[in-house]
Each structure stands twice: as structure tokens, then as C-alpha cells.
Chain A
Amino acid sequence: MTAALIKLLYLLAAVMFILGLKRLSSPATARSGNTMASIGMLIAIVVTLVFQEIVGWREILIGMIVGSVVGGVFARTVKMTGMPQMVALLNGFGGGASALVASAEYFRYLEAGQGIPINFGVAIQLSVLIGTLTFTGSLIAFGKLQELVTGKAVTYPLQKTLNALLLIGTLGLAVWLMIDPSNPVAFAGVVIGAALLGVTSVIPIGGADMPVVISLLNSYSGIAAAMTGFVINNEGLIISGALVGASGLILTNIMCKAMNRSLANVLFGAFGATVQQIGGGPEGAPGDLTVRSLTHEDAATMLAYARQVVFTPGYGLAVAQAQHEVRELADMLQDRGVQVKYAIHPVAGRMPGHMNVLLAEADVPYDQLLDMDQINPEFPQTDVSVVIGANDVVNPVARHDKSSPLYGMPILDVDKAAHCIVMKRSMRPGFAGVDNELFYKEKTSMLFGDAKDSFKKLIQEVQQL
């Protein structure tokens, strides 16, 4: 009877998660959805504490207090620009927790000394493998985003071969463990192998491909939780883990499509390790191509007398933390009767939706943030498009240069506006290592310098008009 009740209550928790996620379909209801999901989690935790046979409370209390404090402090103090790092860490802890639970179950079976039924064995191995890989992979992703580890793609000879061998070796050990579970050395081997795989599979992936990696690790953390559900025979874990797994996969797919690259290419392509310049050829310097730059005064005049201005933010906006200044300038322009919109590329920034969160922090209304499909038809009617620290996602090369690594990637058509102002620190190529044709176009003017400073100057100039 109690067993049935527990199952039903876990089901209730899972249903709350689904309803909560459903409410994320609109920014207006999203917050209540998150609350709903958190109530579901509370139900799951309370049910576990009350109905499962808990005999020792010390470890539980320590774990809960430490976890709540650390999680709470992280959540309160993290800056909106640091959100990708935060999500990477959360992915890691989720995967790590699942791997630990599965390991603990393994030791319980071992202690009981009656062997491990094959189905639990498979689930334990999968959970440990995926969970550990998610943990170390996420730590590397965090390191890259936090710039503790180089953001560049790290490559070395025989990389793929070594990775493949590592994967085969780890899987081999896992299979061996299913046949002969009472071998702690092999178990340690699986853990170490999975941990190494996490590191070696994320390290060759460059900074701007992080949206894909984070989405994929997100998916893994869900799958690891679902596998743990098989281990402890709990439908709640399986349903919730599957939801998260699906969510991460969808995001991964969206990100890959937005770059016109396959997942395999992102994971193994070591994209951005080489630099390609316009005009091709090994030494092909841009030569006779000229770049026009303009003063803040000119830029301010251009913006103030425009009918429609579209801002296109990229990772540079997050680096400069200029979102508040952008909003301030946009407000001033709107007061002068200028239509202001924002064009958001799916892979702008370091994680899905990164730019939206930054601009939301600066109180930009979300109905001004337009997706690629919505905004692209509007560029021809736009007087000035302002590119703020975005590069590859606005490179026209993607439309026509078949030899370019960017070819085929859907881009924002900022060059179709009457004028285009590109705010950038220098002429350095973007992440893909491809020189940006946009900078040399006749309608394009460069506004060099830190985006935050530039915006402050623009605000002053517009005030004086």
C-alpha cells in the first residue's frame, strides 16, 4: 500500500515537472512554471525522507546543508554574463550526483555479496559512465568559459584515435564488470576512463562551440539521472531524466542547425584551430580591401536620425558587459521616435539564449528581441544596423563562399541595412578564424574600442543633438 502511494507521489512530482516545463512556452507564464517544478521537487524530497527506510540522518543533513548553501550562494551571486559557466557547473554536479548514486548502489550490491542482476549491472555501468563523463566534461567546459583553460580548440596528434581507444577500453571494462561485478579494480578503471573521456572529448572544442557542448552535457546529465532511475527502480527519476535528456538534445540540434554543422563536426572538427583570410591562399592578406571607421559623433548622428535601428549583439556584448548602456541608448533613440529592435542569432554568445538573458537583465522588453527568421526580412527596411561584438554570425561569406568553413551557416543579414556600424575592439577574426567580409563592405563603418565605452560616448553625443 505504502509502496503504491510512494510511486503515485513520485508520479505527481514528475507531472509537476512536465507542467512546469509546459509553462516555459511563454515568458509571461515561465516564472510560475519554474515555481511549479520546484514544488514537484520538494514533494519528491519530502516523500523520500518520510517513506523510504532512512535510518541515518547525519550524512543526509550534512549533504543537504552543504549543497543548499553552495547552490544558494552560486544562484544569488552569479552575474548574468557568467550564466554559461553556472549552467556548465550545474550540469556537472547533476551528472556527478547520478554517478555517485550508481557507485554507491554498486558497493551495496558488492557488500551483499550475491552478485548483481544483469539489468541493474547495465544501468549502474551506464549511469557511472555517463555521469562521470558529464562531471569532468562540464568542469572543462566551465574552465574554458571562465578562461581558466584555453578557449581555443586543443589538438594533438592521433587525438581521435586515442579518444576512440579510450572509449573502447572503458566500455570493455564496463562489460567485464557486468560479467564479473566483484572486481573493484575494473570499477575504478571505468570511473577513471569515463573521467578522462570527459576531459579529452571537451578539450578539442573551441569557445564559440560551447552552446552545443553545454546543451549536449545538459542532455547527458538528464540521461545519467534516468539511468540511475533504472538502478534504484524509480519511475520518477526515469521520467524526469528523460525530459531533461530530450530538452538537451533538442537544444543541441537547434544549435547545430544554426551553425549548419553536424554534431560530429562540432565534437571532432576542432573548429577554429586555423585561420582563413579573405581572398584565400596561404598568405592572402586582405590587401586592397579597405576598412572605413567613423567617429562616435558621426555614429550618434546616424542613429539619432534613423527611422529603424537594429542592434545585433554577440559574445563581445557579454565580455564588455555593455547591456545596460545598450538599453540606455536604445531608450534615448526611442524617445526621439526611432524604432529599435534586437536581432538574436541562435548561437550568439556562449549558450542558447545567452543574449536574451543579458538584455532582459538590462530591462529590454522581450518583444523587442527578434529571432533570425523574424528579423532578417526587416533588414532591408532598416536604416542602421549596429553589430555589437558579433562576428561569425554576421559574416556574409557564409552565403556565397563555398570554400569557407562558415559556408551555409544561416546568418543575420545586417549588411542589407542601409548602413551598418560594427563595434569591435580590433580587426581580429571571429572564432571560426575566418576574416569577416562585412567589415570591408562599402556600407559598413567600424567603430573601434570597448563596446561599453563606445556606448557611453554615443549616449553623450546623442544627448547633445
Chain B
Amino acid sequence: MIEELVVLFVIFVLAIFVGFEVITKVPPTLHTPLMSGSNAISGITIIGALIVAGQGEVVVARYLGMVAVAFAMINVVGGFLVTDRMLKMFKRKPEVQK
């Protein structure tokens, strides 16, 4: 049991380092889309929400799960869509103007 936990913890720590490496390369101009996009990614908790909302046994857990699914879905749908809307606007200068 404790080994299992340690393995998960190792993954957690390594992923933080991957995050640091990847995110430091994001230019300041994209920091707002980065936030909304990473927000959408934190909606991954939807996995847990779906599992508890869809299990049969415990009624309270199922309803809590339902609200969790709704919250996570707002995060996922809202986050990815709004990020796309923003990123669509970032344009380079039209090359030939005159």
C-alpha cells in the first residue's frame, strides 16, 4: 500500500518538473491563454467525477458526483473554448502591406 503511494508520489514530483520545463518556455504574451488552457486541463478531475457519479452504491456520493461532473465540465468546455477563442485572435503582422 505504501509502495503504491510512493510510486504515485514519484510521478507527481516528476510531473511538476516536466511542468516547470514546459511552462517556462511560454512567452508572456500567451500567459492569459496559458491560464485558461491549463484551467481546462485541471478539469481532468472529471475522470473522478464520472466514476463517483456513475457508481451504483452510495446515493450521496452519486449526487456529489453529479455536481462535480457539472463543475468539471464547465472547466473543460469553458476552458478549451475560451482559450481557442483567444488564440484565434493572435496574429502576426501581415507580411506584405504596400
What is A's interface to B at a CB cutoff of 8 Å? 10, 13-14, 17-18, 20-22, 24-28, 30-31, 33-35, 37-38, 41, 44-45, 48-49, 52-57, 59-60, 62-64, 66-68, 70-72, 74-76, 78, 80, 83, 86-87, 90-91, 93-94, 96-98, 100-101, 103-105, 107-108, 111, 117, 119, 214-215, 218, 221-222, 224-226, 228-248, 250-251, 254, 344, 346, 351-354, 356-357, 360-361, 363, 365-369, 371
Contact = CB atoms under 8 A, between A and B. Distances in A.
A139 to B, nearest CB: 12
Most A CB contacts (10 A, CB to CB) among B34, B45, B92 go to: B45
A248 B54 CA distance: 31
A87 B35 contact: yes
B15 A242 contact: yes
Interface in B41-98: 41-58, 60-94
Given A234-B47, A353-B29, A357-B33, A240 B42 contact: yes
Given A101-B65, A352-B35, 14 more contacts: A66-B73, A90-B39, A97-B45, A97-B68, A101-B68, A104-B61, A105-B48, A218-B42, A238-B8, A241-B12, A242-B15, A246-B16, A246-B18, A366-B92
Most B CB contacts (10 A, CB to CB) among A14, A27, A41 go to: A41
A94 B39 contact: yes
B76 A48 contact: no
Given A83-B36, A250-B23, A352-B35, A97 B54 contact: no
B32 A353 contact: yes
A133 to B, nearest CB: 15
A48 B61 contact: no
B54 A41 contact: no
Contacts of B34: 21, 24, 247, 251, 352-353
Contact of B42 (A70, A101, A222): A222
A119 B5 contact: yes
Top 6 A-B residue pairs of the complex, sorted by shortest distance between their CB atoms: A67-B73, A246-B19, A63-B69, A353-B31, A71-B78, A71-B77
Interface residues of B, number: 86
22 contacts: A22-B22, A27-B87, A34-B80, A34-B84, A45-B76, A63-B66, A63-B73, A86-B36, A90-B75, A104-B58, A107-B64, A111-B58, A230-B5, A237-B48, A243-B22, A251-B31, A353-B33, A360-B86, A360-B91, A363-B91, A366-B90, A369-B29
Contacts of A18: 18, 22
B94 to A, nearest CB: 8
Nearest to B25: A25
Contact of B64 (A22, A26, A103, A231): A103
A366 B29 contact: yes
Contacts of A34: 33, 37, 80, 83-84, 87
Contacts of B89: 357, 360-361, 363
Contacts of A100: 49, 64-65, 67-68, 71
Given A34-B83, A104-B60, A104-B64, A238 B51 contact: no
B30 A214 contact: no
B82 A74 contact: yes
A441 B45 CA distance: 53
Contact of A30 (B24, B33, B94): B33
Contacts of A357: 32-33, 86, 89
A101 B92 contact: no
A247 B19 contact: yes
B45 A66 contact: no
Contacts of B49: 63, 97, 100-101
A235 B47 CA distance: 11
Given A100-B67, A365-B91, A352 B31 contact: yes
Nearest to B7: A235
A63 B54 CA distance: 11
Contacts of A245: 16, 19
B46 A97 contact: yes
Contacts of A360: 86, 89-91
A108 B16 contact: no
A27 B47 CA distance: 30
Nearest to B13: A242
B57 to A, nearest CB: 7
A30 B22 CA distance: 13
A246 B12 CA distance: 11
Contacts of B81: 71-72, 75-76
Contact of A233 (B4, B22, B42, B52): B4
Contact of B74 (A20, A90, A221, A236): A90
Nearest to A110: B58
A53 B12 CA distance: 26
A365 B93 contact: yes
A57 B69 CA distance: 12
Contacts of A241: 12, 42, 44-45
A30 B84 CA distance: 9
A67 B50 contact: no
